[in-house]
Structure 1
Amino acid sequence: MGNLNIKLSQLLNSLSFSLEVAENRYYNHSRRTAYIAYCIAEEMELNDEEAADIYYAALIHDIGMAGYLSKYSVDQIHFEEELKREHCYYGYKILDKLSFMGKIKEYILHHHEEWQGTGPYGLKGEEIPLACQIISLADYFELFFLRKMEDDTYIANLDHIDKWLGKHKDKRFKKEVCEIFYEVAKKEKFWFDLRPTNLDQALQMVEPRKGIYIGIKDLHKISEAFALLIDAKSKFTYEHTKGISNIVGNFATYLGYNPIMVEKLVIASNLHDIGKFVIPLEILEKPGKLNDQEFQIIKSHAYYTKLILKYVKGLEDIAEWAGNHHEKLNGTGYPEKLDWQSIKKEDQIIALADIYQALTEERPYRAKMSPKEALLIMEGMADRGEICKDLLSHFRQVVL
């Protein structure tokens, strides 16, 4: 249970997936945009660092469409000027606290600038960083050309591409960038790689050669950024994750875990609800009882949390702790029906914090409870064998 050494490209690819399986989003949009942008950067023979920054930025260029903007569709955000500006700025602010994201956050802020100066911030011509020009072309081509092709008919119709580019040359995009992209589009490999069956492998092959690795401190900062996005989705989950993380940090310290383990548990608690990106807002905020189908959808969030985090090598234990927060010791939890033989103490630490925080928050179907009322409910759960009675007695000392 030592320190962490996480490959940034894997992490961003996984987080990009979490944004793309969210409601009102197009699956694989950001990852195909990243592939297209990287191919343009390669064709331009940009250096490895520049190409890597373009790839990373393209992977999460729409991070600002999460959180409170998740209720809007992709088309709304790309066509309504205020939403276009807002999601660029929101994405920039989310990444603003991450020092190693310096260029990337700037690229995200300006990825909708247009060559003729009609973008959200009015940058014109060479005022627009080249990386932003590349990402913008890749973004719009994926959404408004590639996605309009019939499913799985990825055949390069160069006449149609030339016509599409011709409408935008020296208007939305710089003429030279369009011409370089046209050369990319001539390659059969480019089209084969974009097929859904091939994309994951293609991304692994074009992954920046000089891999960037981050440690536990930077991972903690990224987890905090995503916690903000998760909580911002619904007014009823405002600061939910932050509350859980504070409890988990205090509880793990009380139990005698070493500082690195405490930090890993806090990271897991920051990301425990990342699967909620998938859940429609009308279900999260439904005032009445959920029907069986809606409850099944709610249950999927824990599944997606583990799926998203398990993609990243080095996050296996964090993925387990985060993904198991709705499992019960008596096997009645979800989504895997684990029991006391499989559930670890670390899983329970996050589960107890999650239960307590949820009970002491307002929900659309009930008022918030006092700490003592919440603990009384949790004692009943312990009596039924759902959570650990001994661990709950220690938990009480931390939260009262």
Structure 2
Amino acid sequence: MLRDKLSIKLSELLSALSLALDSANNRIFQHSRRTAYVAFNIAKNMGIDEHILSDIYYASFIHDIGMTGEMTQYSIEDIHNDKKLKKEHCQAGAEIIKYLPLNERVHDFVLYHHEEWNGKGVYGLKHDDIPIGSQIIHLADYFDLNYGSILNEDINVNNIKRFFIIAKGELFSPEAVDSFLDVMDKEKFWFDLKFYNFQQILNTIEPNKQREINIGELKKIAKAFSVLIDKKSKFTYTHSQGVAKITKDIAEYFDYDKLVVDKLEIAAYLHDLGKLVVPNEILEKPGKLSKEEFDIIKSHPYYTKIILKQVKGLEIIADWAGNHHEKLDGTGYPEKLTNNNLTREDQIIAIADIYQALTEDRPYRKGLSKEEALKIIQDIGSKNKFQQEVINGLREVI
């Protein structure tokens, strides 16, 4: 059971959610995790205060959080090579961060992470007018975008150093560059970046190890990410929030303890987290999906569960969120679970998801009325796909 004080580390949660963002189409896998690692090492070597160091670390994980919604049509290279798009994703990211339980500094670090030392960045800030965290994240971000893809090749470290020496005082803060040059001298830095289990490396450096979140903070983060998930397609603009509302109502109908209601609501907010991995051309295809396309769609609950299970303390929420396409008779996906494995909580989210989807417009049809949707769900239930009591609960709250 979740307690009001969760044994969930904020950095671990942000790292997992950043992986979901970086697994999306047109993104670079684990880019934000590597950026966090590089930024941490630069800041630590500079002797940055521990509290600011933690905020730089958190901001690094979500520095590209604004690359959602309409931005998904662009590749990460497109965005970073276009000043207008760079500014838009900084603004969008900073706006989302306002709704997260994070220090105001994190907002500023993300908003200004594309400022250049010479004042030619997207907002025109110059020198020490640029927040220290933004100076460091800008350098770390640039490094990974340009060199992260060749980490497993024979890297010429001297060539990389030469570039940053030339860019010192122009693109990047002189102090941050000097610190990074020191960091690059250590073999451990390169060994860490190449290590196959990068989350394990992050666990060894994690600053502010005592920073845990309570259930209210977790709900804020889950709700903010549900908005990002839903904005991926115009046909799912409020889907996760709708599923969360129905899930909460059904849970309260069954008179669950408040903490269980909160957990179910959080799982519902995040149930489609894995859809960030699915290309929009499949999500918004007006015609029938091919088998290969449907297989990609069927992967999304798998990714939801695998990403959330990387966070210690979220295991039960990960199961509830990831099982929302399973059925009692074993015909669901992706694990083909049966009534021996599925709980009533799993089914509550699954039923809420089906109802919400049926009543929303889709590329291939208009949304159904509540009566039509309930009839379809009743028909599905009569085939031993869901417990009748869960369907009755949905009918009562609708």
**TM-score scaled by length of structure 1:** 0.96
Instruction: Spell out, residue by residue over 1:251-298, the C-alpha distance to the aligned partner (whole angstroms, 9 max, x if none).
Output: 111110121111111101000000000000000000011010000000
Residue 40 in 1 paired to residue 42 in 2? yes
Q: 1-side partners of 2:227 and 2:95: how far apart?
A: 11
CA change 1:333–1:198 in 2 (3 A) is: closer
Instruction: Spell out, residue by residue over 1:314-349, the C-alpha distance to the aligned partner (whole angstroms, 9 max, x if none).
Output: 111110110000000100000000011110000001
Is the contact made by 2:308 and 2:315 (CA closer than 8 Å) also made in structure 1?
yes
Which amino acid is the alignment partner of residue 172 of structure 1?
L
1:165-314 map, 5 Å: 165-314=164-313
1:312-351 map, 5 Å: 312-351=311-350
Which amino acid is the alignment partner of residue 227 of structure 1?
S
Is the contact made by 2:40 and 2:53 (CA closer than 8 Å) also made in structure 1?
yes
Instruction: Spell out, residue by residue over 1:350-384, the C-alpha distance to the aligned partner (whole angstroms, 9 max, x if none).
Output: 00100000000000011110001011111111111
Instruction: Spell out, residue by residue over 1:138-164, the C-alpha distance to the aligned partner (whole angstroms, 9 max, x if none).
Output: 0001111343x3x51264x34202321
CA change 1:161–1:265 in 2 (3 A) is: same
Which amino acid is the alignment partner of residue 167 of structure 1?
I
5+ residue gaps in structure 1?
none
Q: Post-superposition, which runs of at least 4 consecutive aligned residues in structure 1 deviate over 4 A?
A: none
Q: Which moved more, 1:215-224 or 1:40-49?
A: 40-49
Name 2:111's counterpart in structure 1. 109
Q: 2-side partners of 1:262 and 1:201: how far apart?
A: 32
Which amino acid is the alignment partner of residue 152 of structure 1?
N
Q: 2-side partners of 1:242 and 1:324: how far apart?
A: 18
Name 1:163's counterpart in structure 2. 162
Q: 1-side partners of 2:344 and 2:103: how far apart?
A: 34
Name 1:29's counterpart in structure 2. 31
Q: 1-side partners of 2:307 and 2:152: how far apart?
A: 25
Which amino acid is the alignment partner of residue 369 of structure 2?
S
CA change 1:243–1:96 in 2 (3 A) is: same
Is the contact made by 1:8 and 1:211 (CA closer than 8 Å) also made in structure 2?
no
Is the contact made by 1:19 and 1:277 (CA closer than 8 Å) also made in structure 2?
yes
**TM-score scaled by length of structure 2:** 0.97
Q: 2-side partners of 1:395 and 1:260: how far apart?
A: 20
Which amino acid is the alignment partner of residue 366 of structure 2?
A
Q: 1-side partners of 2:173 and 2:53: how far apart?
A: 18
Q: 2-side partners of 1:355 and 1:83: how far apart?
A: 36
Q: Which moved more, 1:304-313 or 1:381-390?
A: 381-390
Instruction: Spell out, residue by residue over 1:107-158, the C-alpha distance to the aligned partner (whole angstroms, 9 max, x if none).
Output: 11111111111111111111001111011000001111343x3x51264x34
Q: 2-side partners of 1:188 and 1:97: how far apart?
A: 39
For the aligned residue pairs, the C-alpha RMSD in angstroms reads 1.3
Q: CA deviation at 1:196?
A: 4.5
SS at match of 1:90: helix
Is the contact made by 1:230 and 1:276 (CA closer than 8 Å) also made in structure 2?
yes
Is the contact made by 1:230 and 1:274 (CA closer than 8 Å) also made in structure 2?
yes
1:36-75 map, 5 Å: 36-75=38-77
Q: 1-side partners of 2:99 and 2:267: how far apart?
A: 19
Is the contact made by 1:154 and 1:194 (CA closer than 8 Å) also made in structure 2?
no
Which amino acid is the alignment partner of residue 226 of structure 1?
F
Q: CA deviation at 1:209?
A: 4.4
Q: CA deviation at 1:42?
A: 1.3
Match of 1:129 among 128, 131, 145: 131
Q: 2-side partners of 1:93 and 1:315: how far apart?
A: 26
SS at match of 1:214: strand
Q: CA deviation at 1:85?
A: 0.5
Which amino acid is the alignment partner of residue 324 of structure 2?
H
SS at match of 1:65: coil
Is the contact made by 1:23 and 1:278 (CA closer than 8 Å) also made in structure 2?
yes
Q: Which moved more, 1:172-181 or 1:235-244?
A: 172-181
SS at match of 1:194: helix
Q: CA deviation at 1:96?
A: 0.4
CA change 1:50–1:398 in 2 (3 A) is: same
Which amino acid is the alignment partner of residue 136 of structure 2?
I
Q: CA deviation at 1:166?
A: 2.9
Is the contact made by 1:33 and 1:139 (CA closer than 8 Å) also made in structure 2?
yes
Is the contact made by 1:111 and 1:133 (CA closer than 8 Å) also made in structure 2?
yes
Q: 1-side partners of 2:72 and 2:103: how far apart?
A: 23
Is the contact made by 1:34 and 1:55 (CA closer than 8 Å) also made in structure 2?
yes
Name 1:94's counterpart in structure 2. 96
Identity over the aligned pairs, expressed in percent?
Answer: 51
Q: 2-side partners of 1:126 and 1:47: how far apart?
A: 17
Q: 2-side partners of 1:351 and 1:101: how far apart?
A: 35
Is the contact made by 1:9 and 1:211 (CA closer than 8 Å) also made in structure 2?
no
Q: 2-side partners of 1:46 and 1:219: how far apart?
A: 28
Instruction: Spell out, residue by residue over 1:142-195, the C-alpha distance to the aligned partner (whole angstroms, 9 max, x if none).
Output: 111343x3x51264x342023211332111102221121111101111001000
Which amino acid is the alignment partner of residue 324 of structure 1?
N
Q: 2-side partners of 1:210 and 1:324: how far apart?
A: 31
